[in-house]
Chain A
Amino acid sequence: KQEVTQIPAALSVPEGENLVLNCSFTDSAIYNLQWFRQDPGKGLTSLLLIQSSQREQTSGRLNASLDKSSGRSTLYIAASQPGDSATYLCAVRVGMRFGAGTRLTVKP
């Protein structure tokens, strides 16, 4: 059974810092991995999708990497802003398993 873990559970940084969020999974036989952000009480917004054959994807200040062999993905956020404050979730497919998320607070 696929287990997805996100570390840390919560993170608070000052504005402007570069930061890394981690996602690990136990079964490397995945089709893809998707990163989302969720604002309080809201739905999920897709950030990046990495296919199993890819190593990384970039969108603006965000960069996500995938290492299937070690069961890890990282989400790198450059020059963080207060508007980045949200909960970040990763999800792996087969079966769409989500991590518990990392709650990020960026302080002005």
Chain B
Amino acid sequence: KAGVTQTPRYLIKTRGQQVTLSCSPISGHRSVSWYQQTPGQGLQFLFEYFSETQRNKGNFPGRFSGRQFSNSRSEMNVSTLELGDSALYLCASSPEGFGGTSYEQYFGPGTRLTVT
């Protein structure tokens, strides 16, 4: 079974631009979560989508948004990029949502975003 895939793997953007990252979960997984990882803040939860609905959201500004399609693929969008948005963005999928008792996450390789 193929793992979680993320595209693109590397991205360089200029401050003020917007960016869209894509995540394809493991086949059959309905939950997709997004995380931001930086050296200073570590891994921080952005949001979780389950069956096309955002179920949980972390403490990030509204510039960070996402969506999930009927095939469970998910996209994350960051508008008006800031230098501090430079990070590794990780996507994880799970067969269950946050409320599932055996919720276990499988991570993709990440997208390295650099904002200049």
Contacts and interface: CB of A to CB of B under 8 A. Distances in A.
A91 B106 CA distance: 13
Nearest to B112: A41
B103 interface: yes
Interface string B23-45: 00000000001000000001111
A46 B104 contact: yes
A98 interface: yes
- Interface residues of chain B: helix, strand, loop or mixed (majority): strand
Contacts of B98: 93-96
Interface in A19-59: 31-32, 34, 36, 41-46, 49, 51
B57 to A, nearest CB: 10
A95 B43 CA distance: 12
A93 B103 contact: yes
A34 B108 contact: no
Contact of B42 (A34, A93, A101): A101
Contacts of A42: 109-110
B105 A32 contact: no
B76 interface: no
Interface residues of B, number: 24
A89 B103 contact: no
A42 to B, nearest CB: 6
A106 interface: no
B70 interface: no
Contacts of B101: 31-32, 51
Contacts of A43: 4, 6, 90, 107-110
Interface of B: 4, 6, 33, 42-45, 48, 56, 88, 90, 92, 98, 101-110, 112
Interface of A: 31-32, 34, 36, 41-46, 49, 51, 89, 91, 93-101
Report, nearest first, the 6 A-B pairs whose CB atoms are least far apart: A98-B43, A44-B107, A43-B107, A43-B109, A49-B104, A100-B42
